[in-house]
Amino acid sequence: MKLKKSTAQSNPSPFHSDRKLCFIDLETTGVSPLRDRIIEIGIVVIDGETIERYSTFVNPEVRLPPEITRITGITSQDLEFAPTFSEVVDRVEELTADALFIAHNARFDYAFLKHEFARLDRPFSRKTLCTVRLSRALFPGHPRYNLDAVTTFLGLSISDRHRALPDAEALVHIYEKAMVRDDFDNTVAKLLKKPTLPMQLSEEVLDSLPDTPGVYTFVDSEGTILYVGKSINIRTRVKSHFMSDYARTTDLAMSRQIQQVYAEETAGELGALIRESRMVKQMSPVYNRALRRSRQMIVALFARENTLPTITLAPLSEVPLESVENILACFKSQKQATEKLREIAREFKLCPKYLGLERGAGRCFASQLGACMGICDGMVDLEYHDRFTDGFQKLRVPPWPFPEATTLVEESERFRETHFIYKWCYMGSVIENKSTQEVSKNPYTHAFDWDEYKILARAIRARLTKKQGLSPINLTHIQEAFYL
């Protein structure tokens, strides 16, 4: 078999360009820039009156999946003696330098090259133009805009589809067809200023998003919730996902699946934070990680036995509202709770039996080693209460700072939302739409949630510091607010 390593040639350009244009297509071992590798590069550079073509196989130094061979016709034998990316990186750098990087679904090809450069500790940054977005803007009304569809409705043909250089040549012809449109220059200028949206989303999706606080969800074609996010400006935050995906593999993988974006406005940041936390726990989105904790968390509850402080471990979901003030610490798991309590027992010389770590009659094992002062065997330890307090000082949920419940009000141009909070538990909210006078009531389960506690503590601390926006209310009035 004759092996194709690399080819390059220069010819007169089919059209004049005032700027250097780099049309590029890659074939890869898969769709993840982090895990997969480039196996073929095709580049067509147009600079003024000249055109230069470059094509090479690339040895990915990983296994070539059979399905890639079926799609591209490229085999492991083709790649065995091909140069590695480190051997062609200087040529790719030279060809793409100071050029407009043009590709079909540019986010894909650009992300792969950026990661290949990063593996060699080399930076790679280019201005990109996506021919999917360009075709959608200049040739509207077609159901699909993948490369096969665009070349078909423009009357173009590709001699060797799914090979890098022929596909890159097709992009040149698409660009040439686009150039004759009257609105070409303005369209390109606008696209260069906008984030590179996933090819399956239209510009109208971003334009319709509110620039106000709230939550948003990304949904795939099956209706699966991919991601839930929050922001004080939904439109700007959603755009940022599509601007940063070249560096973040998660955003790139997620963007390939997004079919719909939904948004829900709130009156302020607190409402957005609480909704995001609740929605993540209820929906378990594929790409959310940090807020996936459920109520399976373990808490250490304070109690007394014969005037001595004791600890019992219990699932957070089983802690009633009236016992919230007895929570000394929250843990992600039983194992983490046990390990932390043992650490506290050793550092502060506390009795493992009174921390719920040992059972049975008589002295604890630690007292035999001098690590416990013997309160489990009837010995008097006058400093035990102080050491117990010090041991849990950094972990303890602070006492609720009000004699009753409190409300916190947020207002935007469209909404006024009253949040009801009691003993660090979010009781719900009442939202008034200022334009329609419509009122919606959102009572929540009265339970302590660790993530929501941190959100509420920050919000209340900020309001107390500013001495604004908090009003006392008793539980009866909260019930009336929701159910009358």
Residue 180 DSSP label? T
pLDDT at 123 over 50: yes
- Is the per-residue pLDDT at 66 higher than 90? yes
What one-letter code names the amino acid at 168? Answer: A
Say what the pLDDT of residue 2 is: 36
At 173, the pLDDT band (50, 70, 90 cuts) reads: very high
| Distance from C-alpha of 80 to C-alpha of 78, rounded to nearest angstrom | 6
Residue 213: the pLDDT is 93
Mean pLDDT of 244-258: 68
Where helices occur in 81-180 by DSSP H, the ranges are 85-96, 106-119, 131-138, 147-153, 164-179
pLDDT tens figures, 425-448: 999 999 999 888 888 888 876 678
Does the pLDDT of residue 212 top 80, yes or no? yes
Compute the C-alpha angle 203/205/209, nearest 5°: 120
What was the pLDDT predicted at 434? 87
Distance, CA of 354 to CA of 328 (rounded, Å): 14
**Model confidence at 335: pLDDT above 50:** yes
Report the pLDDT value the prediction gives residue 11, as an integer from 0 to 100: 63
Position 1 pLDDT exceeds 50: no
For 450-481, the pLDDT digits (tens) are 889 999 999 998 888 776 667 777 777 776 77
**Region 89-111: what's the mean pLDDT?**
94
- What is the percent of the chain where pLDDT is above 90? 44
Q: What residue ranges define each of the domains in the chain, with the CATH number in brackets?
A: 6-193 (3.30.420.10), 203-283 (3.40.1440.10), 298-391 (no CATH), 405-483 (no CATH)
Least confident of 19-28, 165-174, 333-342: 333-342
4: pLDDT confidence band, cut at 50, 70 and 90? Answer: very low
- The model's pTM: 0.63
Residue 169 confidence (pLDDT) above 50: yes
- The helix or strand, by DSSP H or E, that contains position 311, with its residue range, turns out to be strand 308-315
* Average confidence (pLDDT) over 280-306: 78
Rounded to an integer, the average pLDDT of 45-66 is 93
Higher pLDDT, 245 or 437: 437
- Residues forming a β-bridge with 22: 45, 101
Name the least confident of 83-87, 127-131, 353-357, 415-419.
353-357
CA–CA distance, 263 with 275 (Å, rounded to integer): 12
Answer whether residue 301 shows pLDDT above 70: yes
- Highest average pLDDT, of 233-237, 246-250, 444-448, comes from 233-237
% of the chain at pLDDT higher than 70: 91
Burial label for 198, CB within 10 Å (0-12, 13-18, 19+), is buried
Q: Quick check: 55 and 32 in contact, CB under 8 A?
A: no
> What value does the mean pLDDT of the chain take?
86
Residues forming the active site? 162
Asked whether 375 and 336 are in contact (CB, 8 A), the reply is no
Q: What is the pLDDT of residue 291?
A: 57
pLDDT tops 60 at residue 245: no
> How does residue 5 score in pLDDT terms, banded at 50, 70 and 90?
very low
